[in-house]
Structure 1
Amino acid sequence: MSADKHLQSWQERFEMAEAMQPLLGKLYRNQGVEVMIYGKPLLNASTIEIIKAHRLVRRHVGEKLRLRESFPFVQALSKLAVKQCRVDIGKLAVNYWRDHTDVSEIESYMAKELADAIDHADDVAPRDVVLYGFGRIGRLLARLLIERTGRSNKLRLRAIVLRGGKKGDLEKRASLLRRDSVHGPFNGSVEVDEENNAIIANGTYIQVIYANSPDEVDYTKYDISDALVVDNTGIWKDEAGLGLHLKSPGASKVLLTAPAKGAIKNIVYGVNEGDITPEDIIVSAASCTTNAITPVLKAVNDKYGIENGHVETIHSYTNDQNLIDNYHTADRRGRSAPLNMVITETGAAKAVAKALPELAGKLTGNAIRVPTPNVSMAIISMNLNAETSKDELNEYLKDTALQSPLQNQIDYTDSTEIVSSDLVGSRYAGVVDSQATIAEGKRAILYVWYDNEFGYSCQVVGVMQTMLGLTTLSLPA
């Protein structure tokens, strides 16, 4: 191919990606349809991100998906009366082109494949959400909720609750939402309404409320009712503490973004969200590490059986560590986080049993905090009940990442060059690094990357939707 042809090919792809954008936006805003390509969401994606999403299909099926092959599917989708669902046009297109050579049957094919979502009843009322705390997880949850802004959005961020309230606090909070040293700038506009003590982000009006205790707020004063309060502070972890939220008028349910104590259900979305009942008013979304390892452990246990194992977490430093050596109540955590590897404890291995009871008592765990600001790794060493090999285990996990009910939790890479910073922004609970897999006989070791901030936040949103009965149909199945 000549130099001019390369440029012409790029121009054609770019223009087709640009043509996709308004169709994708209207599908979401008007019909509640989220379009994906092999799990990669295209909501608010740039032209370059759309092109890259198509190239990533090669990882899954061995060849890239061309935009001219997928664009007719977006056009056909925009003509169908589909509502409130996720549609993976990547999978639909790849499956179609395996058996067809022209576009003549695409519309009838789409109508058949998406029959369950056509004229899907949209009678579920939107629900109010309050973020109690606005730290790393709180701000990422805000980004995820705001990116869904539209008439069909069912999760509506109404308020954030903070301690403090000193002069200039509101602008500083807004600034932290606008800019993030790890995840980059906010995709849109953030304004401050000083008079009404609010932040407006991409048209979403977010009331900022100052309180020192969960039971101090009357949400009904802000026209907030029957709200799900998402506690990101980590201060209250038991039923008594989290129950304080329910004393506030306008709050009806509480979700903790940390492991809970006592009998509170610890939920890993994709694994045991079915345990949530309408009567559950306090739920935990467990920890980032528990979310990263549980889906992979479930997949392995379902096929091979796990006799026992050990999980070693190589975890990025967190806000509770010190920048420089200083007093800390916990062992070793007082030493400078950017300068040291710090051995610490993790309850993630034991917490797996709360989401996956069949592994109770079978796992041990430990953690090492390392000088990186985000993205962690779990090294899972297992004794299995059945023999396997590296190739067999990798092929099974690749298929699980593509075709199983865990496809939204588990990602898979066969890159020989991937490093931690490449996974910043990953929406998966965990990413299996197949090049590092070790398996021989009944012994296996897996290396699982995870964005301990963003990937975990995506899992939290899934639990939020389940608690509020806002589950979304995903097609193709």
Structure 2
Amino acid sequence: MTVNDDSFTNWMHREEIAESMIPIIGKLHREQDVNVLLHSRSLVNKSVVSILKTHRFARQIAGEELSVTETMPFLKALTTLDLGPSQIDIGMLAATFRSDGRGLSVEEFTAEAVAGATGDNKIERRASRDVVLYGFGRIGRLIARLLIEKAGSGNGLRLRAIVVRKGSGQDIVKRASLLRRDSIHGQFQGTITVDEANNKIIANGNEIQVIYSDDPTTVDYTAYGIKDAILIDNTGRWRDREGLSKHLQPGIGKVVLTAPGKGDVPNIVHGVNHDTVKPDERILSCASCTTNAIVPPLKAMADEYGVLRGHVETVHSYTNDQNLLDNYHGSDRRGRSAALNMVITETGAASAVAKALPELKAPITGSSIRVPVPDVSIAILSLRLERETTREEVLDYLRNVSLASPLKRQIDFISAPDAVSSDFIGSRHASIVDAGATKVDGDNAILYLWYDNEFGYSCQVIRVVQHVSGVEYPTYPAPAV
């Protein structure tokens, strides 16, 4: 047998194992509300090749071998346990098992590592929480996709309605079409039909009421059977408490803004300050995509090295608030063609750091350049540290943060030398550290942080909504603190 034959035989063997994983993952997901992860990446509803690629990527960033042959025993061990709703990372189980050294079997180790989700410790399934989307643009449609994808996974969120201004012609048909097909993020995974008579979009069996209104104070959501819902405002039309309070109509319990909040509206970056949200807080903001990209790594660096000052420069994809061709715009430069120019503009991300990370006293400045790409941006974070370090130390530290810290869902890590922006379309992390671009010289560090400013940010919004809904299930093994 040739070397190539050996490689192909090995591939087919791993394909077979990955194929056998799918029904196990699906059954845990449907029957026990268990979301199986691999180094923070969900394996639910993934194909054979996707499962293998996820293992490959985890192996790359961890710097050591990880194969389905290693994780499969842990997945099988989960099927023998009386599990409650939870998220279980089989990549972390395999990694921690390697270094355990107590001679436990896979079954014994797994039972101990996920004990908080079993038997008398397990939490009960919670009733679903209604969600309403106010606005149905780029972020609104991606949040809709995520909510539909997660329906029935145990997170307890149920998309009940979208509120939009009625357009001319076949409004609901056109909105359903935009949800079905996306030039950047591809086809919707599932089926979408339209009930024009009742103003409903049905996506993977989820009936979504389309409510037409241009004034939030005129909508009574209880008329549609909606109760104590979380309303996600992705229009950005209102940013302060007074404006956002207009949404607190019958049927709405909380309002979440997908833009930086003004005044006393809390700016929440999941993974960093979501635990500070008061239970009785009814209005909050998820800050901006760039704030979500820089605050988690900034916190990680401040925790380990201390930060005296910093500057962030974002090279940002163009957005809908720019003109396709030169035309009048309220902002001087944003009126120039987004598709033909690099456009210097402002970013509020640096000033928003103080709200999300108040314990950081270091001054952070920022600026932005919009460039002719439709999605994925990069933040260049230049930091003056409290102590000197080396590039190797910083990269090892950030790699470990991305794998085994409470920030592992926010921070990703890549060492591929040829990575470019389009490689990160669809990333579910708030930011991705580019190892090859990282610069460290004594007490100066420059981090290059990729982020999908549409999808990655939408994932952060969903995490905040899960948290304030009380339906964010714990992850096992618990990340190191």
* TM-score for both structures, normalised by structure 1: 0.96
Distance 1:89 1:341, change over 3 A: same
Query: Which residue does the alignment assign to 1:198?
Result: 200
Q: Structure 1, residues 77-135: CA drift from partner, whole Å, max 9, x if none?
A: 12322121111101212333556899x92222211111000131215321100011111
- Work out whether residues 29 and 149 of structure 1, in 8 Å CA contact, stay in contact via their aligned partners in 2: no
- 8 A contact 2:155–2:473 mirrored in 1: no
Measure the CA separation in 2 of the matches of 1:312 and 1:108: 49
Q: In 2 relative to 1, CA 338–155 (structure 1 residues): closer, same or farther, beyond 3 Å?
A: same
Alignment correspondent of 1:258: 259
State the match for 1:12 in structure 2: 13
Instruction: State whether residues 62 and 403 of structure 2, in contact with CA within 8 Å, keep that contact through their aligned partners in structure 1.
Output: no
Deviations 1:201-235 (A, max 9, x none): 11111111111111121111111100000000010
Q: Give yes or no for the alignment of 1:229 onto 2:216.
A: no
What one-letter code is carried by the residue in structure 1 that aligns with 2:292?
A: N
Pairing 1:268-307 to 2, within 5 Å after superposition: 268-307=269-308
What amino acid sits opposite 2:469 in the alignment? L
Question: Does residue 438 of the first structure (1) align with residue 439 of the second (2)?
Answer: yes
Aligned mates of 2:58, 2:401 — CA distance in 1: 16
Contact 2:308 2:386 in 1 (8 A): yes
1:30–1:152 contact (8 Å) kept in structure 2: no
Listed one character per residue, the Cα deviations across residues 263-287 of structure 1 (whole Å, up to 9, x for unaligned) are 0100000000111011100000000
The equivalent of 2:410 in structure 1 is 409
Q: Distance in 2 between matches of 1:282 and 1:271?
A: 18
**Could you tell me which residue of structure 2 aligns to residue 238 of structure 1?**
240
- What RMSD in Å do the two structures reach over aligned CA positions? 1.7
Match of 1:334 in 2: 335
**Structure 1 counterpart SS, 2:190:** coil
1:91 is aligned to 92
Give, as a single letter, the amino acid of the residue that structure 2 aligns with 1:216: T
Matches within 5 A, 1:57-456: 57-97=58-98, 105-119=105-119, 120-122=122-124, 124-150=126-152, 152-246=154-248, 248-360=249-361, 362-456=363-457
State the Cα distance separating 1:364 from its structure 2 match.
Answer: 0.7
Gaps of 5+ in 2: none
Letter in 2 for 1:258: A
Q: How far is the alpha carbon of 1:165 from its aligned partner?
A: 4.6
What displacement does 1:440 show? 1.2
Counterparts of 1:98 and 1:259 in 2: how far apart (Å)?
43
1:115 corresponds to which letter in structure 2? A
How far off is 1:7 after superposition? 2.7
Identify the range of structure 1 (165-174 vs 214-223) with the bigger mean alpha-carbon deviation. Answer: 165-174
Name the CA distance, whole Å, in 2 between partners of 1:98 and 1:55: 20
What is the alpha-carbon distance in structure 2 between the residues aligned to residue 46 and residue 207 of structure 1? 31
How far is the alpha carbon of 1:33 from its aligned partner? 0.8
Following superposition, which runs of at least 4 residues in structure 1 exceed 4 angstroms of deviation? 97-102
Structure 1 unaligned spans of 5+? none
Distance 1:151 1:90 in 2: 20
Aligned length: 475
Structure 1 residues 293 and 151: CA distance shift in structure 2, 3 A:
closer
Question: What amino acid is the match of 1:309?
Answer: G
Cα distance change on mapping 1:228 and 1:395 into 2, 3 Å: same
Equivalent AA in structure 1 for residue 244 of structure 2: L
2: CA distance, partners of 1:192 / 1:440? 58
Q: Which amino acid aligns with 1:434?
A: A
